[in-house]
Amino acid sequence: MRISEQQLAMVDRQIKRLVESGNFYGTKLKEAGIDGVKSEEDFLNLPFSHKLDLRDAYPLGIMAVPEEQIVRIHSSSGTTGTPVIIPYTAKDVEDWAKMFKRCYEFAGITAKDRIQITPGYGLWTAGIGFQYGAEKLGAMAIPMGPGNTDKQLQFMMDVKATVLCATSSYALLLAEEIEKRGIRDRICLKKGVIGSERWGEKMRRRISAELGIELYDIYGLTEIYGPGIGINCKYDQGMHIWVDYLYLEIIDPVTGRNVPDGEFGEIVLTTLVKEGAPLIRYRTHDISRIIPGECPCGSHFPRIDVIQGRSDDMVKFNGVNFFPKQIEEILALFPEVSSEYQIRISHLERRDTLRLYVEAAVDMDFTALTKKLEIAVKNRIGFTPNVNVVEVGVLPRSEKKTKRVIDERYD
């Protein structure tokens, strides 16, 4: 995907505004001698921006307008260290609501829907984004916030909510509670809008089946407005991204170069009209790819695939970049193996080898399974692993995040 003339002009305007504002990024650009972009080449030479920069600019160093124009701040916590603060002007808030409204519309949600919002309200961008979008659409927002499952279900039944907005884990919890309490016939939900978590196809199917609803994945991050910058349509073939507000790139996380459409890499976003805190070539660390071709819905908004993980999780083996998620997806195609697996990469006899351990029940033909898995990985990712099938229960389990990849090449 290439940057259009119009997008280029918008980036140029953003850069000039930043430099003029003298904010954190404006100063950086000025020091680098950058005062605008005239060509795609200029654009591709712009430096990336990073979450670490935003921490350096804490608390309000990235504010790019006079303070009286800021109407709100949001913050993303991050797991360690200083939080990041993003200031919004009234127009930023408005633009975000417009994008969110479009998300609901792509999901076929209308002013007649009643939208139960369970993500949290507060400093982070979740609940309030869902809320403003719903109001902009003219739907009835039910601003529950997280937790209190009894009350959630009571409201869901009494107010006859038709749309559930939730994280995937909370949607699953609610689905299980509804099942357990036998109240499914009193629930009027038709659709779920699920945000901000990486989730597997198996979990998705379970939520959808148990609640009997269509599911929509919403994309976004606090640094770039928040959730609502993209969503899948009813054809469910990737998330459309609103490129009239953002420029979307997929880069090789190692070289920083754009990858061809269809290839996986890191999502990089440039805000085209943001005022409070414009970001140029912001590295999200989310891994996805642009889905080539046109969506059956006919929309011209480009699509990205399900988020495969974080670029920090990327593994490079024999010249192929891949993500543990891709292995998970392949294993999900084989009902005879468990969801547990382990990847070990070592450097033996002057070459790198990759062993993939999977679990299967003992009465299986391990040799045939091994062969099938090797072919599946080769076809879908591009290298042949040494597959080792072990009995169910042999691989380590952990309450926290299980370590899936053990790279012994550099030990």
Which residues of the shown chain bind Zn ion in the complex (CB under 5 A)?
233, 295, 297, 299
CA dist 266 and 250 (Å) reads 5
CA dist 153 and 182 (Å) reads 12
Task: In angstroms, give the least distance from the CB of 330 to Zn ion.
Answer: 26
**Of 1 and 297, which CB lies nearer to Zn ion in the complex structure?**
297
CA dist 276 and 72 (Å) reads 9
Label residue 46 exposed, middle or buried (CB < 10 Å: 0-12, 13-18, 19+).
middle
Task: In angstroms, give the least distance from the CB of 287 to Zn ion.
Answer: 21
Task: In angstroms, give the least distance from the CB of 110 to Zn ion.
Answer: 17
**Of 39 and 299, which CB lies nearer to Zn ion in the complex structure?**
299
**Of 116 and 232, which CB lies nearer to Zn ion in the complex structure?**
232
Task: In angstroms, give the least distance from the CB of 235 to Zn ion.
Answer: 5
3-class DSSP assignment, residue 165:
strand
CA separation, residue 193 to residues 115, 118, 127 (Å)? 10, 10, 12
Amino acid at 263: E
**Of 110 and 299, which CB lies nearer to Zn ion in the complex structure?**
299
CA R_g for the chain: 23
CA dist 150 and 170 (Å) reads 13
Task: In angstroms, give the least distance from the CB of 301 to Zn ion.
Answer: 8
**Of 85 and 233, which CB lies nearer to Zn ion in the complex structure?**
233
Label residue 334 exposed, middle or buried (CB < 10 Å: 0-12, 13-18, 19+).
middle
For residue 18, the Cα-to-chain-centroid distance in whole angstroms is 27
Task: In angstroms, give the least distance from the CB of 109 to Zn ion.
Answer: 15
**Of 73 and 297, which CB lies nearer to Zn ion in the complex structure?**
297
